[in-house]
Amino acid sequence: MFCTNCGHKNDEHAKFCEDCGKPMQDEPTTQSLNQAPPPVTPTTKTGNKKSRPIVISALILVVCFSAGGIWYFQSQDKSPMSSKTEGESFNLVEESEETSREETQEKAKKKPTKESTEEIEEKNDTKTVKNKQALRMQISQIDNSAFPTMTLYTQIKDRNNQTIADIKKDTFEVKEIGPDGKEQNLAIKDILPVEESTEMNINLVLDQSGSMDEDNKINNAKVAASKFIDEILSNQNNHVEITSFDSYVHNVQAFSSDNQKLKQAIDSIELGDQTALYDALYDALIQTNQTTGARFVIAFTDGDENASLHSENEVIELSKQTGIPVYIIGIGSDINAAYLESFTASCNGDYYSAEVEDLSTVLLDIYEDIYSQQKDLYKVTYTSKANDKLDQYYTVSVSAAKKSAFNGQAKLEYMPQDNIAAIDNRNILDIIEAKTDVENVAVAIVDLKTNVEFRVGNARQSYVASGFYAPIYTVASTVDQDVADQMMKTMDNDAGNTLIDEFGGLSSVTDALSDQGYTQTTFNRKFGDVKASEAGNENYTSAVDSAKILRDIYDNDGYKNMNWDLTKDGIVLPANVKTYAHRGQGIGAAYNVFAIIETDDVKYGIAIMTAHTGSNNKEAQAVAVPMISDILAEVHKGMTGH
């Protein structure tokens, strides 16, 4: 296409001339696209002002010569006009018009100034924006498992909620904003639709609290979950984990693509008591974070949270750290729907409501709707340039490129490296089951860098607190620091009892621990009081409380006085670690280990509590020691990655 202003040949789709910057105009249909148009006489006021005086002068001369010519012709029979004069007169007109045309074209051909170029681009952008297609965009989840390669699972739909097809990578742009506010524009490596080959890992979290017995809700929920398993596993790349909860959390079946195992796990779920929803979601996020690909958690519940140790904010924070969304289905009318909508939105998921009537069908429809949403996503892959503060939040945005035909943007906070350990609960359970019943062992771990917790077995159940001096240190060390240090260094019963007395007695210790959130830790006898123990007055704690108390004494350096050598009992420690530990034996053949383990890269607290692994303390120790050695090795592998 040729510019009608300067004659420059442009691309046929150009909206502005590449040479003079003027808007392109459609040429007459009779004009050949390959033939330059004839020169156009400029019609600007400047050009007309230049040519008009010369034209008038020429006309006057013509009139004069004509009059003279009549007289001359009549008197001398000559031609009325001299060819030279006529020629000069018309040459003046032609030169004047040609000069005006050339000057105007020359002026038009000059490169636009910087200001005029920006004005043209602004007009071009404004014109383009008006014609852009508005998009509905959302970053559903982020996979940072291969950092610095990042994968954003992104919804890209039109106003009618239809997924846009055939998206190209140059259609969108990615930008990262660091904790310091610094922005970096990054190149998109690929933008591809989630296909059948894409791995999906879905954690189904099922409510087995006592209220699920009403209206046969538990059985209808099992039917829906089993049918959904069939749908998910129609893609052989998908895996499902079954988590259930009542007052406690149960890892019923680890991630698997075995349809039969998963359905057997669902069928095995039995009704319990209360509703520890937060704990179940927290554990599900921990386990799901060990997978790759598209990952999400779907839970259903028929009542409000009333039994968790983890808080709402801890679940939201873990969801943000891992980039894994949480979806919740509320069953029946006894649900705070507004709250769950807000909660799931904070977890980058969504909330669905289901009536009790025809529950199995409704649940299945919701499951399939969530699953369908995940399949309609695009995978946006790019390489992050984040190289520091990797454990802080960045913001990533995906937006339509300025030159694209679309207009839309999605943002999400994420952590480049969540540093959440890959501890496999299933492997630890296998170790326990090889030695004793799972009910006899509780394990809880706390990552002292991230504060993320891991629990295995009956981690929330109360066990005899043999060898656990840290609770007294936590609440009473400020009373007498020297006595507290002595107690921790040698597991000194007398020093511990002195602190208990100075603090106000056993009930005061228990109340203070409860006030700090350690509700499963109670002191009913003094250290070394065998008679009180035999009379049924025992000290109790849970592995969960123990791990949290270890975190507290780590924060105030109280752990550095824990110097029991676990290898004296035959426990094998991971290589190249520094260990601060206490251990204890007591009534009910209890054998407990409480330790903080450090390397240059990791720091974690671990509580391993056992009971009834033998008929006496000697037999119990013979079972517990090799089992604890294997558990420590498995936990350390998960913490360090090797």
83-102 pLDDT, tens digit each: 333 333 323 333 344 444 45
pLDDT at 453: 86
HEC secondary structure over 79-132: CCCCHHHHHHHHHHHHHHHHHHHHHHHHHHHCCCCHHHHHHHHHHHHHHHHHCC
CA dihedral sign, ordered 259, 260, 264, 267: positive
Query: How far apart (Å, rounded) are the C-alpha atoms in residues 319 and 326?
Result: 7
pLDDT at 642: 67
pLDDT at 52: 37
**Which spans in 233-355 are helix H?**
259-267, 277-288, 312-322, 337-346
Better pLDDT: 423 or 553: 553
For tokens 């020169």, the residue is 39
417: left (phi over 0), alpha (psi -120 to 50) or beta: beta
pLDDT at 426: 77
In this structure, the strands spanning 540-542 and 462-464 are: antiparallel
Mean local confidence (pLDDT), 218-224: 91
CA distance from start to end of the chain = 65
pLDDT at 118: 37
Architecture of domain 200-375: 3-Layer(aba) Sandwich (3.40)
Phi, psi of 178 (to 5 degrees): -75, 175
pLDDT at residue 202 above 90?
A: yes
pLDDT at 152: 95
Question: How much of the chain exceeds pLDDT 70, in percent?
Answer: 79
**Mean confidence (pLDDT) of the chain:** 81
pLDDT at residue 137 above 50?
A: yes
pLDDT at residue 294 above 60?
A: yes
pLDDT at residue 108 above 80?
A: no
Query: How far apart (Å, rounded) are the C-alpha atoms in residues 333 and 355?
Result: 8
Tokens of 439: 């009910």
Query: How far apart (Å, rounded) are the C-alpha atoms in residues 543 and 352?
Result: 35
For tokens 């004047």, the residue is 96
Pick the CATH number of 425-640 from 3.40.50.2000, 1.10.3720.10, 3.40.50.1400, 3.40.710.10: 3.40.710.10
Pick the CATH number of 133-193+378-414 from 2.60.40, 1.20.1070, 2.60.120, 2.50.20: 2.60.40
Residue 68 pLDDT grade (very low, low, confident, very high; cuts 50, 70, 90): very low
Residue 31 pLDDT grade (very low, low, confident, very high; cuts 50, 70, 90): very low
Query: How far apart (Å, rounded) are the C-alpha atoms in residues 1 and 7?
Result: 9
Better pLDDT: 425 or 16: 425
The reported pTM is: 0.67
Query: How far apart (Å, rounded) are the C-alpha atoms in residues 390 and 372?
Result: 33
Give domain limits for the chain: 45-109, 133-193+378-414, 200-375, 425-640
User: Poorest-confidence range of 60-74, 347-361, 439-453, 474-488?
Assistant: 60-74
Mean local confidence (pLDDT), 616-620: 90
Residue 22 pLDDT grade (very low, low, confident, very high; cuts 50, 70, 90): low
Better pLDDT: 568 or 129: 568
pLDDT at residue 4 above 50?
A: yes
Task: Give 342-355 as a DSSP string.
Answer: HHHHHTT-EEEEE-
